[in-house]
Structure 1
Amino acid sequence: MPSMPGLGPETQSLPPPLLFESCGSYLSDPNIKLLQLLGLRSHLRFSQQRSMAQTSSYFMLISCLMFLSLSQGQEAQTGLPQARISCPEGTNAYRSYCYYFNEDRETWIDADLYCQNMNSGNLVSVLTQSEGTFVASLIKESGTDDFNVWIGLHDPKKNRRWHWSSGSLVSYKSWDIGAPSNTNPGYCVSLTSSSGFKRWKDVPCEDKFSFVCKFKN
């Protein structure tokens, strides 16, 4: 093998990947071993030849070690198992909560009391659009023929200020057309079947509908 310009016998024996291949292609090799790189570092450190080419190779090695550390760290993060919760049989998990659709028809207050007695939950609070989509799919998959389904939003002081029974902040809203009504106001809120159970409507709290509970397990 011909000598590279400026390299003596010590540096001729350097492993070729770092000298002739890009760092990226070398690190992409699934069979790479960190110990091989460390051995190369020791070889360079104690080499008697201090040419510019060797110095360049040394810095290439340091760069590759840094990239390797970063790539291994990213793989470790992305490879971590996602936290999964275990919900009771007959309920469904979404993020860190369990959800239960009850087809029994109750008034709003009785429905919320039922949920409170079920693992200290409440009528469902819909806090994001994605959560609303999940709740809607949960109801539709049940095959219910109800036109309305209770959620935990209500107006306890009848001043058109809405609150979740769970105490969550009302930061997301998904009112149906014409709701909340000013001419025929209701003080409890249901999901409407006409919107695919994605939109909200204020209705009398004494009406009886099926409902969705939400609780932490």
Structure 2
Amino acid sequence: MSPTWALRLLGCVMLLPALRGELDDCAPGWVPTRGGCLGYFPWELSWSRAESFCRRLGARTHLASVHSAAELRELGELLSSSRGSAGSGEDVDDDVWIGLHRPLRSRGWQWSDGTAVAYRSWHRAAVPRRRACAALQDSSDFMTWDGKSCSDRKPFVCKTGS
């Protein structure tokens, strides 16, 4: 293989993420997506502790928000691959926190990063709790979410915004 040919091939490989519109500046272990970078954390924390953990990772980092079916598919793929490799006999039959929540004294759901709630993928009708948090359902391959008690402890996904 000539050096010129190898350089051209390397240039194409480096250009590919930009052509797909992905970020190339995600931290190691994080996955680039159209909406930013996603990081999966298998530790089980309450929703508020998970959000606090994400916030400590950067000013624009929160529990993941989902704004389209394409983003949900990317998130589902990340979780399926991350949790599939977690194997080693431990029980990975858990839902996963995302940034959707209904704060106290609020009638509506909000994303923790402040973005608008325009896309929904409820597993069933939203729970009538005064304060609730949303988790992706492992039973639906992470393609739907359901309202849960915010004090439940679950793994979570952080998203650094673009």
TM-score (norm 1): 0.58
Higher helix share: 1
Matched, 1:85 2:31: no
Root mean square deviation, CA, Å: 1.8
Matched, 1:132 2:132: no
Write the distance in 2 (CA, Å) between the matches of 1:192 and 1:94.
Answer: 20
C-alpha distance after superposition, 1:114-154 (max 9, x if no partner)? 11111220000011110001001101101251321000000
In the alignment, is the contact (CA less than 8 A) between 1:122 and 1:215 conserved in 2? yes
Counterpart for residue 7 of structure 2 = none
In the alignment, is the contact (CA less than 8 A) between 1:148 and 1:210 conserved in 2? yes
**186 and 198 in structure 1: CA distance in 2 versus 1, 3 angstrom threshold:** farther
Task: Give the fraction of aligned pairs with identical amino acids, expressed as a percent.
Answer: 33
1:191 Cα deviation after fit: 0.5
**86 and 96 in structure 1: CA distance in 2 versus 1, 3 angstrom threshold:** farther
Q: How does 1:1-217 map to 2 (within 5 A)?
A: 82=19, 84-120=23-59, 121-142=61-82, 143=84, 145-177=92-124, 179-182=125-128, 187-216=132-161
Higher strand share: 2
Counterpart for residue 14 of structure 1 = none
Write the distance in 1 (CA, Å) between the matches of 2:150 and 2:114.
Answer: 18
1:95 Cα deviation after fit: 1.9
**180 and 96 in structure 1: CA distance in 2 versus 1, 3 angstrom threshold:** closer
SS in 1 for 2:76: helix
Write the distance in 1 (CA, Å) between the matches of 2:121 and 2:24.
Answer: 27
Give 2:119's aligned amino acid: Y
SS in 2 for 1:126: coil
1:85 Cα deviation after fit: 2.5
SS in 1 for 2:97: strand
Query: Could you list the runs of 5+ residues in structure 1 that have no partner in the other structure?
Result: 1-80
Give 2:120's aligned amino acid: K
In the alignment, is the contact (CA less than 8 A) between 2:35 and 2:71 conserved in 1? no
Larger radius of gyration: 1
Write the distance in 2 (CA, Å) between the matches of 1:96 and 1:202.
Answer: 23
1:186 Cα deviation after fit: 5.6
Larger RCO of the pair (alpha carbons < 8 Å, separation 6+)? 2
In the alignment, is the contact (CA less than 8 A) between 1:186 and 1:202 conserved in 2? no
**176 and 158 in structure 1: CA distance in 2 versus 1, 3 angstrom threshold:** farther
SS in 2 for 1:190: strand
1:204 Cα deviation after fit: 0.4
1:158 Cα deviation after fit: 4.6
* Equivalenced residues, count: 135
- Runs of 4 or more, structure 1, over 4 Å off, are none
TM-score (norm 2): 0.77
